[in-house]
Amino acid sequence: QSSLLPPLKTVSTFTRDWRRRRSTCIQTFSVSYHKFVEFALDETRRHTHLTPSPLQEKFSFMNSKDGKGRLSMLSFEAAKIRLLRSLIIETETMQVFDFTVFPEAEYDVPIFCANFFTSAKTNIVVLDLNPLHDVINQHEYKDKYFKSLIPLGLKYTQLFPWGGKLTSESIKFFSPIVIWTKFTSNPQKYDILYSAFRDYYKVWLELICKSVKETDESQIVLNLEAQHRYLTWRVEKDPGQGVLKKLIGDTLAKDLLRSFLFNGVDELGSKTFYDYFPQYCTEEGTLHKKGNIVGKSFENRPWDVRGEFIGE
């Protein structure tokens, strides 16, 4: 926080920072995502005991290379939860919140995923209970977790219009209640986003609390592979990679991605990105680093109001 700026004042659940820019006199708005993670931790503790993860020792706080940004990391374990981890990035121009909770392989409960990027102008939001298994064709899995949540999804997806085209494969990691949206920065939207976050997290906690430990070894193997596939996708394709590398450099960014954010990618399975996503392999056998092969798709929400997939 520069000493030239007035102290931040907390209004409602957000930090509203009406800075006057000397040159443009544009009022900007910045948020704090710390409330979000505090809510999630408090709420989790109401149901279960959280133990700090061994990762916490290595990943807790980092400054960006230019000294102007900070990265705050938290990680925990609990019964049924392999890893609950949070990353908050705060710089003069953006705030990022990346909060994900990975269940143990004995549970086929979705992965809780909140991924918010905020700059002065725009917000990029993914909030979802990322399904572990196919929810486009596998009705049993879909109904088990999402049937009762469709009204909740509808409530928020009406408030947050579909964010437009996205990397095609991502849709397979999303559920019928996914909130994928972009909006220009404004206080009301943050209040709604906070409310959506709380509601989604509360229903996710109910799911994990109610879930029954799987004993069928072959099903556990399927859950484990789905978790590993998810980690492999995100570690390779996370759109935040560029920003992270700029902030902390290539080596630290890679370590943060593999060891912290998508921890488990090197331990839970041995398949590679090519094994899971062969469409990304070039004829020479190298990985397409830039963009993607299938391209961006889904201009409009590919789920209807009943939670049926209506995409291509």
Q: Which of residues 77-106 bind ligand BLA (CB under 6 A)?
A: 89, 96, 98
> For 279, which DSSP code?
G
**Smallest gap, in angstroms, from Cβ of residue 25 to ligand BLA?**
26
The residue count for binding ligand BLA (CB under 6 A) is 19
In sequence order, the 6+-apart residues with CB closer than 8 A to the CB of 35 are: 13, 14, 194
d(CA 99, CA 84): 8
Q: Which two tokens stand for residue 2?
A: 């520069």
Question: Distance between CA atoms of 262 and 264, rounded to whole angstroms?
Answer: 6
The nearer residue to ligand BLA, 49 or 134, going by C-beta atoms, is 134
Q: Could you say which DSSP state residue 104 is in?
A: -
| Closest residue to ligand BLA: CB criterion | 240
Interface residue with ligand BLA, options 173, 183, 201, 280 (CB under 6 A): 173
Alpha helix (H) ranges present in the chain? 34-45, 55-58, 139-146, 150-159, 187-210, 217-237, 241-248, 250-255, 273-276
Site for ligand BLA (CB under 6 A): which residue of 170, 175, 227, 263?
A: 170
Does position 167 bind ligand BLA by CB under 6 A? yes
Closer CB to ligand BLA, 28 or 292, in the complex: 292
The answer to the question of residue 302 lying near ligand BLA (CB under 6 A) is: no
- Report which DSSP code applies to 126: E
d(CA 39, CA 86): 12
CB of 3 to ligand BLA, least distance (A): 26
195 makes contact with ligand BLA (CB under 6 A): no
Contact characters 120-149, ligand BLA, x per CB under 6 A: ----x-x---x-------------------
Structure tokens at 47: 């149901």
Residue 44 or residue 181: which is nearer to ligand BLA going by CB? 181
SS3 221: helix
Stretch that binds ligand BLA, among 25-33, 111-119, 219-227, 267-275 (CB under 6 A): 111-119
What are 128's strand-pairing partners?
A: 113
Binding track over 237-256 against ligand BLA, x by CB under 6 A: -xxx--xx------------
Residue with tokens 């931040």: 8
Contacts for 294 with CB less than 8 Å, ≥ 6 apart:
167, 168, 169, 279
Nearer to ligand BLA (CB atom), residue 56 or residue 241: 241
Residues contributing to the site for ligand BLA (CB under 6 A): 89, 96, 98, 113, 115, 117, 124, 126, 130, 166-167, 170, 173, 234, 238-240, 243-244
